[in-house]
Amino acid sequence: MNKKQKRTLRNIIISIALLVIISIIFEILEDKMSELSDISARIIKTAAYLVPYLIVGLKVLKKAGRNILNGHVFDENFLMTLATIGAFALGEYTEAAAVMIFYQIGELFENIAVNKSRTAITSLVKLRPDYANIEKDGELEKVDPEEVKVGDIIVVLAGEKVPLDGVVKEGESFINTSALTGESVPRRITEGEDILSGCINEQGVLKVEVTKEFGESTVARILDMVENASTRKSRQESFITRFAKYYTPLVVLAAVIVAFLPPIILGESFSVWIGRALIFLVISCPCALVISVPLSFFGGIGAASNHGILVKGSNYLEAIAKADTVVFDKTGTLTEGVFAVSEIVTDGNYSEDEILSLAAHAENYSNHPIAVSVKNEFEKRGGVIDKEKIKKSDEIAGKGIELILIDGKIIYVGNLKLLSDIGVKPIDKQPDSYGTVVYIADKEKCFGFITISDTVKESSERAVKRLKSQGITNTVMLTGDRKQTADAVAKEIGIDTVYSELLPADKLEKLESIIKNDKEKSDDAGVVFVGDGINDAPSLIRADIGIAMGALGQDAAIEAADIVLMDDNPEKIATVNCIGRKTIRIVKENIVFALAVKLLAMVLGVLGIAGMWFAVFADVGVSVIAILNSMRMLRFSEK
């Protein structure tokens, strides 16, 4: 609780105590009071009850008065003032003071709840570095990160936050990226590697050459985005503000009708109907909606950022909850985007390691991605390339490599074309996995082959499955790969539709036609595009919701996307979709619940069944319940 809230709480407690004491005193003095004339009894009672009333309510009266002077008549302060003054006039003193007290309790509660959510979401602000260490004459000096220039060397001690983006010049350590990505396993970092601001150096001293000014660094950009997120409003939020604008005057008009029409037409007493009109006014206060709807969205955005997902506005949370189609760019999102050996098959006479060794020696001088992955696998299995064994290796363009060993043996490493050139049949086994197949042979026969493929991410299948269970009806994959490979990947992951052999420019065109088809089916549902941020900024912009994945440090992608996943786990798409849907559900629950209870209570109030106490509960109680419901979003976790 802050100072202001504490003061409010103190006032509430004092005024409750006073109210109780005053009520007891008047109870005891009942006989004496009845001896007094009606007028003087009223004056004494009003004066007494005004004390607790004003302790909590003066603020409200002042605000109401000032708003009237400024031309804003119908707000909740006004409603409360009118209702309580009316109650005083009708001789319901305890009720008048109690209504004001309850109203203030409700306000205080709202205030605390909103502050709490605000702190929860801005806990990201803990990302913000307070200082950067600069070495000067052998001593460390703390400076404002904004003052550090590109090219400066900063020192990051163990346990400190990295203040600016840069390259490690000296030292090695483990860095914790959990504040950025939600990933809690520390990552190793050594000289020459890029380091992002917002990470925490877990051990050792790092010297970092700054590559970006503070304003351009990852931390500043992320904070900027999160702070900006709540200025992009969802349709529900704008609906509520528009709603409140018409709602309050309408309610006041209805109250006036309730107060005067029945007495005039039916000839009943004015005081009864004015009382009912006041009850009606208290119930009608729209604060439950006005607060809880933005609070839910705010909580949703906060929950997402706790999972390493940046949502750029409430409207995107709303949009993803309605989406029915997810389009994936294959490489880098569903697959690792890195080639690796997935399979080694031999004719039985050679071992896997022998085949791999021959291939690695043949590819020794090549930098082709396939050669690199073969060499990587060889080294991973503990192999060392013995250059002494290589007499000569020649590249046969588009086909493979001819390797001549020191003992005069000639080995061919390459594709089917190379095999048919030398007149050798491939071994009669089929590759299990899809991808590029490299055969190893000599002049007489083929020894086996190695399959190299872009490995599918372990979580892709789960991601697609979860999206489907959440209501995504169509999953699409776009890729430049050839059809067989693409189909195999799609089948493995569970993708519905595949468009393969696309040139980079075709992808945007395909996306356009998917969006068009989708819009023809239904206006409301949107299309999500997921890319890794490399060369797909136009698609990210074009889709209803563009999700950039693994975007840490990629400025163009962060700029173009609506939702940014800080790491490259496709399951996070399902997570943010889940958060979106849950947020919308809570918003709808609150709108329906608040309106239904209020409507019912208003009817009961007009019929004279619900009294002032009930009215206060219908107002404050509904607000509190709606707020508590919204705050569930803050505690969102997937399991």
Tokens of 91: 């001789």
Q: Is 129 in the site for another protein (CB under 8 A)?
A: no
Contact window for another protein (CB under 8 A) among 258-266, 294-302, 484-492, 545-553: 294-302
Options 106, 145, 182, 294; binder of another protein; rule CB under 8 A: 294
Q: Is 90 in the site for another protein (CB under 8 A)?
A: no
Q: State the nearest-atom distance from the C-beta of 54 to another protein, in Å.
A: 18
Give the three-state DSSP class for 446. Answer: strand
What contacts 58, CB < 8 A, 6 or more positions away? none
Q: State the nearest-atom distance from the C-beta of 303 to another protein, in Å.
A: 14
Which residue lies nearer to another protein by CB, 283 or 606? 283
Q: Is 298 in the site for another protein (CB under 8 A)?
A: yes
Q: Is 117 in the site for another protein (CB under 8 A)?
A: yes
Q: Is 527 in the site for another protein (CB under 8 A)?
A: no
Q: State the nearest-atom distance from the C-beta of 242 to another protein, in Å.
A: 9
Q: Is 123 in the site for another protein (CB under 8 A)?
A: no
Burial 143-171 (b: 16+ CB within 10 A, else e): bebeebeeebebbbeeebbbbbbbebeeb
HSE-CB of 440 using CA atoms within 13 angstroms:
26
Q: Is 109 in the site for another protein (CB under 8 A)?
A: no
Q: Is 230 in the site for another protein (CB under 8 A)?
A: yes
Contact window for another protein (CB under 8 A) among 223-231, 348-356, 368-376, 483-491: 223-231
Q: State the nearest-atom distance from the C-beta of 626 to another protein, in Å.
A: 12
Q: Is 75 in the site for another protein (CB under 8 A)?
A: yes
Options 227, 268, 524, 638; binder of another protein; rule CB under 8 A: 227
Q: Is 241 in the site for another protein (CB under 8 A)?
A: yes
Contact window for another protein (CB under 8 A) among 153-161, 231-239, 259-267, 491-499: 231-239
Burial 338-351 (b: 16+ CB within 10 A, else e): ebbbbbbbbbeebe
Tokens of 610: 């619900």
Q: State the nearest-atom distance from the C-beta of 126 to another protein, in Å.
A: 16
Tokens of 505: 């420019």
Query: Distance between CA 448 and CA 439 in Å, rounded?
Result: 6
Pick from 211, 185, 215: nearest CA to 199: 185
Q: State the nearest-atom distance from the C-beta of 547 to another protein, in Å.
A: 23
- What is the SS3 assignment for 127-184? HCCCCEEEEECCEEEEECHHHCCCCCEEEECCCCECCCCEEEEECCEEEECHHHHCCC
Q: State the nearest-atom distance from the C-beta of 290 to another protein, in Å.
A: 5
CB atoms within 10 A of CB 575: 22
Options 68, 244, 254, 257; binder of another protein; rule CB under 8 A: 244
Pick from 400, 385, 392: nearest CA to 446: 400
Q: Is 76 in the site for another protein (CB under 8 A)?
A: yes
Q: State the nearest-atom distance from the C-beta of 352 to another protein, in Å.
A: 58
The mark string for 391-410 relative to another protein (x by CB under 8 A, - otherwise) is --------------------
Q: Is 64 in the site for another protein (CB under 8 A)?
A: no
Q: Is 556 in the site for another protein (CB under 8 A)?
A: no
Q: Is 111 in the site for another protein (CB under 8 A)?
A: yes
Q: Contacts with another protein in 4-33 (CB under 8 A)?
A: 4
* CA angle at 183 for the pair 182 and 184, rounded to the nearest 5°: 110
Which residue lies nearer to another protein by CB, 424 or 586? 586
Contact window for another protein (CB under 8 A) among 70-78, 348-356, 490-498, 624-632: 70-78
Q: State the nearest-atom distance from the C-beta of 630 to another protein, in Å.
A: 11
Which residue lies nearer to another protein by CB, 575 or 630? 630
Q: State the nearest-atom distance from the C-beta of 236 to another protein, in Å.
A: 13
Pick from 277, 282, 245, 241: nearest CA to 620: 282
Q: State the nearest-atom distance from the C-beta of 281 to another protein, in Å.
A: 16
223, 172 contact by CB (below 8 A): no
Q: Contacts with another protein in 311-330 (CB under 8 A)?
A: none
Query: Distance between CA 302 and CA 226 in Å, rounded?
Result: 9
Query: Could you please report the per-residue DSSP string of 488-519?
Result: HHHHHHT-SEEE-S--HHHHHHHHHHHHHHHH
Options 42, 45, 118, 128; binder of another protein; rule CB under 8 A: 118
Query: Distance between CA 104 and CA 154 in Å, rounded?
Result: 51
Options 290, 310, 323, 478; binder of another protein; rule CB under 8 A: 290
Contact window for another protein (CB under 8 A) among 62-70, 192-200, 370-378, 531-539: 62-70
Which residue lies nearer to another protein by CB, 228 or 271? 228
Query: Distance between CA 483 and CA 489 in Å, rounded?
Result: 10
Rg (CA), the chain: 35
Catalytic residues: 329
Sheet holding 400-405, edge to edge: 335-346, 446-456, 436-441, 410-414, 400-405, 390-396
HSE-CB of 483 using CA atoms within 13 angstroms:
0
Options 210, 279, 283, 295; binder of another protein; rule CB under 8 A: 295
Q: Is 72 in the site for another protein (CB under 8 A)?
A: yes
Give the three-state DSSP class for 230. Answer: coil
551, 558 contact by CB (below 8 A): yes
Q: Contacts with another protein in 134-153 (CB under 8 A)?
A: none
Contact window for another protein (CB under 8 A) among 110-118, 203-211, 424-432, 586-594: 110-118
Q: At what angle do helices 314-322 and 235-266 cross, to 10 degrees?
A: 90
Which residue lies nearer to another protein by CB, 72 or 491? 72
573, 462 contact by CB (below 8 A): no
Instruction: Tell the residue number behind the tokens 């195999």, with chain if given.
Output: 488
Binding positions for another protein, rule: CB under 8 A: 4, 63, 66-67, 70, 72, 75-76, 111, 114, 117-118, 121, 227-233, 241, 244, 286-287, 290-291, 294-295, 297-298
